[in-house]
Structure 1
């Protein structure tokens, strides 16, 4: 079979195809089911074996050559189309980008990260728990008696119960102390944890909101004392407020879950509206603390005759207001973007230990 004329015809047609549509027409005319080469392949069955073998080899060679030419031309057309598009749709990558407002970190989130970093350096891990708690975890396990005012509806959010539902009541947790009970039951002693999170109480004014944030901590070992508690709180305040010296005052108080108990004040001054921690002649209450009550240890599955520990709790929103000069607690939850842009933090402003911790 002399296929040179057929080869030249289709190779030339492939080369002249101006676009992919024209190239597809050439492919169908040559290699399609009704194409010229396909028709010649159909005649092979009528030939004797020797002629069929020779003609089949020639047709396969021609088919492969045209197929290669078609692929090469298609790639060339695609490259040419891309070049034309790049010339017409150019972009100057040296131009400045469109300005976009950056998000900011809420002061509460920032302070949570800061205190977590500080307490982690002292060996405390973070424990978490549910925000809807049974009254056992929220009250009974913490040695809060049934007649305590905190267990009344004017102070605590109780979950709704349908008529005839006699299950124990559930509440929106009023503190993160239930997390300490759960941590003791899960880990046992010795243990050092902090429990930051949201808590809920029926209160609303310039310095109180129905939902706020709190961090509580505890350390349990065989020889824990109030001296250890004092050191931990002093080192935390020094690192958090970024001052070289702090002075704390422990005042005797009463909390059902600690015995003895103490409220802690910090020395400060306020001159011309500028608040300075660690100096001056004024005192400000910042937290409550004490040695853990034996009944609380027992509720957490820890033998109070072998182990003892301290606990403390403070409002995260309060210390954020104190450190960053925020005057009104309610603004924390107003979702005002102007306020957040003013008091918020850059996502790249990672908390560190600016005050350091002495060893």
Structure 2
């Protein structure tokens, strides 16, 4: 799946994203703090939520996307806006649902579904009365023509750079048994947590795990080997034996050091999880990464940036404030985010006449952002 264009409006918060055109491989959103970069990523991720039945107050959207078999889709819709929407009751976190007022779904310019407040027309036929709170993709997900659309939207992945990973986790034997014959493509498409995917990969597809290990070692040159093993009984204190039953831990072996080290640094562990997420994300997916330098040390940024730029299957939409990252990604991939009031606009570097020379482009970018911020303040 590749998102070609997105337009999004949240009436409740009076926030509008003007139509944004996206490149099929890498898009680096740059702009001053508060311009709306993170909000854009969350808007894209909300499309997946809507496709899975979420009801979002005051939201309307229009997204065009394409698939690897060259099908072109256009999906638009609008939820009603309710003032002062609150949870149904004080003991429930579930919010009151809002109705979808209109929705259309097109395939190669042919209308598949058209929805009004009164009816849903699916391939020219009026459907029985269906829930007014859920998208047509969720309601009709068992239909042959809708199944691939749902599968594509489920490939939108939000990678949280602020997320803390536990260094010890449980891999129940039942989970491993269920997936012991899994293929790499199945693991990538599954919704298993990344650390579970990694542990299963280590056990059943060692040649694929070796690729992750190779990348990790290229970043941490002092590391000779990695293992992802279940803790042995003799390594677990008696008092924690039940708690740590079936516990899995990552260990490394450093060059010139005989013993394996299981108390690796948080930075090292996060980097391993990060590489694993990139490697084990769905093929042809849309990968959203907010300020991805937050989880990486200086020695990791180069290599992970290279991984992203050389991935020709996935579409990456990133944000960053880090000058090193911005300078090391060609201005051709820059998407410059500016905001005036509640309107967010995204343009390419060419639209601002930013030079293609990397040495001068960053200075041009700073000047553009300063001018835009001054205009916003005026």
TM-score for the superposition, normalised by structure 2: 0.24
> Greater relative contact order (Cα 8 A, min sep 6): structure 1 or 2?
2
Structure showing the higher strand proportion among its residues:
2
Q: For the pair shown, which has the larger CA radius of gyration, 1 or 2?
A: 1
Structure showing the higher helix proportion among its residues:
1
